[in-house]
């Protein structure tokens, strides 16, 4: 363990120059390569980033090449321990790093393959910033510089991310629509037709001469009978109307059981009065009897003839 | 938004506590603390950490892992409420009482575990298995976390493995842990990877230029780091569904007296924050009561409602701060009114404090579908205790006398008028017919 530490430390202190140096790179290019060839190439440097957002199609990879120098004197160690290209989503701050392959002469190459970009970083119109990090053990100043942005292609929705706790969208139940009613005006119009018909009918009765001519005489002879019966019938109708409007069945039964005996008694009085005053016409008058016999003879005659 | 409100609440509640001293907080889950101290670790090196725990009324029981009388359970019940595990520097087992299975059973029976990994030896097989059950993937032996950008130049100028973490950016759970963000956190050890388990509670991670390397394999260049950047976690925890908590700290040296006493170090506050979260002193909320009723009525929690009625739902939630329950204020508490699928998912509004809890209420119209519905209050947020409450009620359909009456329906006016007209006309007809007749009786013709 100690030996290993000493080895690592010794690697770091290879520099013979007394100056404090810094990691840097030069001759840097970014190429978008597909199997068919290179689509585009851009140059960048530590101070000058990529001129525009470079788009990365889904079948391509972005190849960064640069030459690493820790300082300008020769015989220096050109391989930093950490040579990464980091792509980062500036909104969510998620990042993924790609290691660079650095050779002895300092030439380094990093491939950012579209297929190796984590799906959490992909999305519609989400450019990712690309940074290069060069650092190593020892006292040399490390380098972390943003060199530009790439825009990976977005091929439709990624699979849903992992479950995370948090509040979910509100749901408010949509009720079934209330039943629609016709406007009162149309309804009342038809009610008016009904009422008009009834008025016309009653008018026609009065027109052909219907009149309660026997009413005064009948009332005089049995006021309780006729008036009582009629009033009790009206009262029973009113009781039913109240039940329709919302009284309970028990109230209805109570009212009917109070009104029914009155109706019975007054009704029998009224019928007795009718019978006494000859208001009940028995079908025994001459006109009807005369009509009956020819009818029977006519039927028997036809039966014989069949 | 919720985080902001919670932060405000916590800031206000600790406003009177000096940042250096540790608040007097008590655990809601018990004070019996077992410390499994490996012989390679000297208790004196961690005296400040253990003294802080003693100040918060914990009964510390120091044992070694090969103690034959050590058992997490006694007669089937948990013998301790909390456990701190420290691990040996070489690959040795912790004993049959501290394998992954007893640790998991300890958690399922409600105990909390704090695991301090050894900076050199990161996991024994049993602890690695335990961590994997939680969704945490521990690093391999002898790996180290280095950061060439943020390191302590006084301690490791060449190797850069004394990493400095910044509480402002690297502390993920800042509101719950209450660490001064102007100080720095000293760390040296390795780092682990978290899985995607939603029960995990990440606490402290490395900065985006840090990475873990294996000095044996990757001496010259880091070509395949175990983990790099902000995906490298140094302290992470999990809260199981029964609210038992476990936290893994990737290096016990972060809690040592040296780290606490270093200049400008926030390690002591961080250690207190981690211990308080693990041992159920902070981030503990509970549901005090739930009532539902018809709006503007008195009877509480009826078993039957009807479709299309206004229902009021109230829940009371408290939070444990220092040593008592206080109202817990948040703006993301939701109620679901469910029958197989949620018909309603409503945000509950905090209407005011009542005693030691905050009342959350909402009023809604019961849906027009009859059936067995559930009031489901499911409040699970990372870092806080889980609250889940389900109450089932019946929603009956309209009774026969709860529909619209015919005279309230305009469509029925013609029928009602024709009914009335028939009755009236019939009465008139009776009077006209019965009392009509010739003025005189018909006279027989005489010759």
Residue A6 — pLDDT band, cuts 50, 70, 90?
Answer: low
Shared domain for B247 and B290, answered yes or no, is: no
Percent of chain B scoring above 90 in pLDDT: 55
pLDDT score for A171 = 94
Closest chain B residue to A248, measured at CA: B401
CB B36 within 8 A of CB B64: yes
The region of weakest confidence among A46-55, A163-172, B12-21 is B12-21
Check CB contact of A20 with chain B, cutoff 8 Å.
Answer: no
pLDDT score for B290 = 96
Q: What is the largest CA-CA distance in chain A?
A: 156
SS3 category, A12: helix
* Reduced 3-state DSSP string for chain B: CHHHHHHHHHHHHCCCCCCCCCCCCCCCCCCEEEEECCCCCCHHHHHHHHHHHHHCCCEEEEECCCCCCCCCEECCEECCCEEEEECCCCCCCCCHHHCHHHHHHHHHCCCEEEEECCCCCCCCHHHHHHHHHHCEECCCCCCEEECCCCECCCCCCCCCCCEEECHHHHECCHHHHCCCCCCEEEECCCCEEECCCCCEEEEEECCCCCEEECCCCCCCCCCCCCCEHHHCEEEEEEECCCCCEEEEECCHHHHCHHHHHCCCECHHHHHHHHHHHHCCCCCCEEEEEEEEEECCCCCCCCCEEECCCEEEEEEEEEEEECCEEEECCCCCCEEEEEECEEEEEEECEEEEEECCEEEEEEEEECCCCCEEEEEEEEECCCCCCCEEEEEEEEEECCCCCCCCCHHHCHHHHHHHHHHHHHHHHHHHHHHHHHCCCCCCCCCCCCC
Query: Is B314 a residue whose pLDDT tops 90?
Result: yes
Shared domain for B96 and B207, answered yes or no, is: yes
Q: From B243, B122, B132, select the one nearest B188 (Cα to Cα).
A: B122
How close B302 comes to chain A (CA, Å)?
22
Query: Is B388 a residue whose pLDDT tops 90?
Result: yes
Percent of chain B scoring above 70 in pLDDT: 91
How close B162 comes to chain A (CA, Å)?
12
Domain closes at, from B229, B256, B278: B278
Q: Which domain holds residue B412?
A: 406-433
How far apart (Å, rounded) are the C-alpha atoms in residues B280 and B245? 8
pLDDT score for B234 = 94
Encoding tokens for residue A35?
């199997």
Mean pLDDT value of segment B334-350: 95
- Domains, chain A, in order of start with CATH, read 21-152 (2.60.40), 184-305 (no CATH)
pLDDT score for A136 = 87
Question: Mean pLDDT of all residues in chain A?
Answer: 83
Shared domain for B332 and B426, answered yes or no, is: no
Residue B36 — pLDDT band, cuts 50, 70, 90?
Answer: confident
CATH code (residue B365): 2.70.50.60
Identify the helix (H) or strand (E) that includes residue A41. strand A37-44
Task: Name every chain B residue with its beta carbon within 8 A of the beta carbon of A171.
Answer: 342-345
pLDDT score for A287 = 46
Task: Name every chain A residue with its beta carbon within 8 A of the beta carbon of B380.
Answer: 165
Q: For residue B447, is it within any domain?
A: no
pLDDT score for B236 = 94
Q: What is the pLDDT of residues A245-259, one digit of tens each?
A: 988 999 999 999 999
ipTM: 0.77
Q: From B246, B224, B160, B228, select the one nearest B191 (Cα to Cα).
A: B228
Q: For residue B401, is it within any domain?
A: no
- pTM (two decimals): 0.79
Q: What is the pLDDT of residues B151-186, one digit of tens each?
A: 888 888 888 888 888 888 888 888 888 888 889 999
Closest chain A residue to B423, measured at CA: A237
Residue A78 — pLDDT band, cuts 50, 70, 90?
Answer: confident
Shared domain for B235 and B292, answered yes or no, is: no
Closest chain B residue to A217, measured at CA: B435
Q: What is the pLDDT of residues A103-120, one digit of tens each?
A: 888 889 999 999 899 888
How far apart (Å, rounded) are the C-alpha atoms in residues B240 and B104? 10
Shared domain for B58 and B167, answered yes or no, is: yes
Shared domain for B152 and B170, answered yes or no, is: yes
Residue B347 — pLDDT band, cuts 50, 70, 90?
Answer: very high
Residue A17 — pLDDT band, cuts 50, 70, 90?
Answer: very low
Residue B344 and residue A173: Cβ atoms within 8 Å? yes
pLDDT score for A89 = 92
| Backbone conformation region of residue B243, classed left if phi is above 0, alpha if psi is from -120 to 50, else beta | left
How far apart (Å, rounded) are the C-alpha atoms in residues A212 and B439? 11
Closest chain A residue to B383, measured at CA: A165
Shared domain for B425 and B379, answered yes or no, is: no
Shared domain for B413 and B361, answered yes or no, is: no
Q: What is the largest CA-CA distance in chain B?
A: 159
Residue A76 — pLDDT band, cuts 50, 70, 90?
Answer: low
pLDDT score for B65 = 81
How close A220 comes to chain B (CA, Å)?
13
Encoding tokens for residue A213?
């001519």
pLDDT score for B7 = 66
Residue B229 and residue A95: Cβ atoms within 8 Å? yes
Check CB contact of B414 with chain A, cutoff 8 Å.
Answer: yes
How far apart (Å, rounded) are the C-alpha atoms in residues B309 and B236? 47
> φ, ψ for residue B338 (rounded to 5)?
-125, 140
Query: Is B367 a residue whose pLDDT tops 90?
Result: yes
CATH code (residue B268): 3.40.50
CB B23 within 8 A of CB B268: no
Mean pLDDT value of segment B230-237: 94
Query: Is B252 a residue whose pLDDT tops 50?
Result: yes
Shared domain for B67 and B86, answered yes or no, is: yes
Question: Mean pLDDT of all residues in chain B?
Answer: 87
Domain closes at, from B244, B261, B278: B278
Residue B373 — pLDDT band, cuts 50, 70, 90?
Answer: very high
In A250-279, the residues whose Cβ lies within 8 Å of chain B are: 278-279
Q: From B163, B190, B224, B172, select the one nearest A97 (Cα to Cα).
A: B224
Residue B158 and residue A137: Cβ atoms within 8 Å? yes
Interhelix angle B267-278/B47-55, rounded to 10 degrees, is 50
The region of weakest confidence among A215-229, B401-415, B428-442 is B428-442
CB B21 within 8 A of CB B74: no
pLDDT score for A286 = 45
Q: For residue B270, is it within any domain?
A: yes
Mean pLDDT value of segment B230-244: 94
Into how many domains does chain B fold?
3
How far apart (Å, rounded) are the C-alpha atoms in residues A21 and B156? 19
How far apart (Å, rounded) are the C-alpha atoms in residues B95 and B66? 6
Q: For residue B381, is it within any domain?
A: yes
Using the structure block, give the residue that is written with the tokens 């119009």.
Answer: A189
Q: For residue B439, is it within any domain?
A: no
Between B342 and B83, residue with greater pLDDT: B342
Check CB contact of B439 with chain A, cutoff 8 Å.
Answer: yes
Residue A283 — pLDDT band, cuts 50, 70, 90?
Answer: very low
SS3 category, A136: coil
Using the structure block, give the residue that is written with the tokens 């009964």.
Answer: B59
Q: What is the pLDDT of residues B45-87, one digit of tens each?
A: 899 999 999 998 899 998 888 888 888 888 888 888 888 888 7
Among B18-32, B114-128, B255-269, the range with the most confident prediction by mean pLDDT is B255-269
Q: For residue B438, is it within any domain?
A: no
Nearest Cβ partner for A183 among B225, B368, B410: B410
Q: For residue B441, is it within any domain?
A: no
Check CB contact of B440 with chain A, cutoff 8 Å.
Answer: no
Residue A162 and residue B198: Cβ atoms within 8 Å? yes
Shared domain for B36 and B161, answered yes or no, is: yes
Task: Name every chain A residue with its beta carbon within 8 A of the beta carbon of B218.
Answer: 81
Between B442 and A95, residue with greater pLDDT: A95
Residue B11 — pLDDT band, cuts 50, 70, 90?
Answer: low
Between B380 and B68, residue with greater pLDDT: B380
CB B189 within 8 A of CB B144: yes
SS3 category, A135: strand
pLDDT score for A74 = 57
Q: How many CB atoms lie within 10 A of CB B215?
A: 17
pLDDT score for B210 = 93
Encoding tokens for residue A193?
């037709």
Shared domain for B270 and B323, answered yes or no, is: no
Q: What is the pLDDT of residues A26-53, one digit of tens each?
A: 889 999 988 888 888 999 888 888 888 8
pLDDT score for A289 = 45
Domain closes at, from B248, B278, B308: B278
Residue B142 and residue A11: Cβ atoms within 8 Å? no
pLDDT score for B21 = 45
pLDDT score for B204 = 93
Shared domain for B338 and B426, answered yes or no, is: no
Residue A139 — pLDDT band, cuts 50, 70, 90?
Answer: confident
Query: Is A2 a residue whose pLDDT tops 70?
Result: no
């Amino acid at each position: 363990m100690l030996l290993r530490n000493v080895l690592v430390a010794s690697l770091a202190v290879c520099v013979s120059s007394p100056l404090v140096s810094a990691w840097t790179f030069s001759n840097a290019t970014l190429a978008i390569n597909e199997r068919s060839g290179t689509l585009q190439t851009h140059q960048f440097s530590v101070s000058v980033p990529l001129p525009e957002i470079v788009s990365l199609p889904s079948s391509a990879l972005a190849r960064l090449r640069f030459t690493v120098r820790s300082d300008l004197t020769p015989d220096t160690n050109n391989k930093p321990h950490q040579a990464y290209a980091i792509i980062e989503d500036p909104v969510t701050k998620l990042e993924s790093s790609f290691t660079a392959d650095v050779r002895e002469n300092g030439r380094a190459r990093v491939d950012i393959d579209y297929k190796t970009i984590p799906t959490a970083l992909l999305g519609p119109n989400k450019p990712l910033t690309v940074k290069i990090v060069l650092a190593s053990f020892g006292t040399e100043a490390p380098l972390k510089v943003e060199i530009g942005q790439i825009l990976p292609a977005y091929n439709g929705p990624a699979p849903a991310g992992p479950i995370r706790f948090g509040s979910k969208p509100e749901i408010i139940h949509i009720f079934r629509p209330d039943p629609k009613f016709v406007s009162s005006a149309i309804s009342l119009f038809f009610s008016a037709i009904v009422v008009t018909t009834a008025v016309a009918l009653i008018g026609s009765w009065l027109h052909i001469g219907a009149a309660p001519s026997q009413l005064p005489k009948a009332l005089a002879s049995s006021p309780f009978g006729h008036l009582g019966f009629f009033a009790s019938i009206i009262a029973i109708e009113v009781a039913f109307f109240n039940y329709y409007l919302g009284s309970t069945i028990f109230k209805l039964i109570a009212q009917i059981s109070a009104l029914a005996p009155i109706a019975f008694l007054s009704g029998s009085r009224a019928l007795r009065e009718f019978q006494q005053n000859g208001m009940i016409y028995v079908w025994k008058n001459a006109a009807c009897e005369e009509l009956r016999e020819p009818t029977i003879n006519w039927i028997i005659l036809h039966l014989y003839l069949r | 938004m919720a985080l902001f409100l919670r932060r405000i609440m916590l800031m206000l509640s600790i406003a009177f506590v000096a940042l250096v001293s540790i608040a007097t907080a008590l655990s809601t889950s018990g004070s019996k603390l077992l410390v499994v101290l490996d012989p390679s670790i000297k208790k004196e090196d961690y005296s400040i950490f253990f003294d802080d725990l003693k100040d918060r009324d914990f009964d510390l029981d120091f044992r070694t892992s090969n103690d034959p009388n050590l058992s997490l359970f006694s007669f089937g019940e948990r013998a301790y409420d909390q456990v701190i595990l420290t691990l040996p520097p070489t690959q040795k087992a912790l004993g049959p009482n501290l394998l992954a299975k007893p640790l998991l059973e300890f958690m399922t029976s409600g105990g909390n575990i704090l695991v301090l990994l050894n900076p050199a030896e990161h996991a024994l097989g049993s602890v690695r298995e335990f961590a994997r059950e939680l969704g945490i993937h521990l690093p391999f032996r002898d790996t180290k976390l280095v950061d060439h950008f943020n390191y302590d130049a006084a301690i490791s100028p060449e190797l850069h493995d004394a990493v400095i973490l910044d509480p402002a950016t690297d502390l993920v759970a800042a509101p719950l842990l209450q660490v001064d963000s102007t100080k720095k956190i000293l760390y040296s050890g390795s780092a682990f990877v978290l899985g995607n388990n939603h029960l995990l509670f990440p606490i402290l991670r490395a900065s985006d230029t840090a990475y873990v390397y294996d000095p044996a394999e990757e001496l010259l260049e880091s070509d395949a780091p175990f983990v790099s950047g902000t995906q490298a976690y140094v302290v992470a925890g999990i809260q199981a569904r029964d609210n038992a908590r476990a936290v893994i700290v990737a290096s016990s040296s972060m809690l040592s007296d040296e780290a606490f006493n270093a200049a400008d170090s926030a390690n002591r506050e961080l250690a207190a924050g981690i211990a308080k979260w693990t041992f159920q002193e902070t981030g503990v909320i509970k549901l005090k009561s739930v009532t539902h009723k018809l709006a503007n009525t008195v009877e509480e929690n009826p078993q039957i409602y009807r479709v299309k009625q206004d229902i009021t739902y109230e829940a009371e939630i408290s939070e444990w701060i220092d040593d008592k329950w206080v109202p817990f204020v948040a703006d993301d508490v939701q109620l679901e009114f469910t029958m197989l699928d949620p018909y309603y998912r409503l945000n509950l509004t905090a209407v005011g404090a009542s005693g030691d809890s905050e009342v959350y209420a909402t009023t809604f119209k019961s849906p027009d579908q009859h059936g067995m519905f559930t009031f489901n209050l499911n409040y699970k947020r990372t870092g806080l205790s889980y609250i889940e409450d389900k109450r089932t009620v019946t929603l009956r359909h309209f009774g026969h006398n709860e529909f619209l009456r015919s005279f309230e329906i305009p469509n029925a006016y013609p029928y009602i008028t024709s009914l009335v007209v028939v009755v009236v006309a019939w009465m008139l007809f009776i009077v006209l017919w019965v009392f009509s007749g010739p003025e005189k009786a018909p006279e027989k013709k005489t010759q």
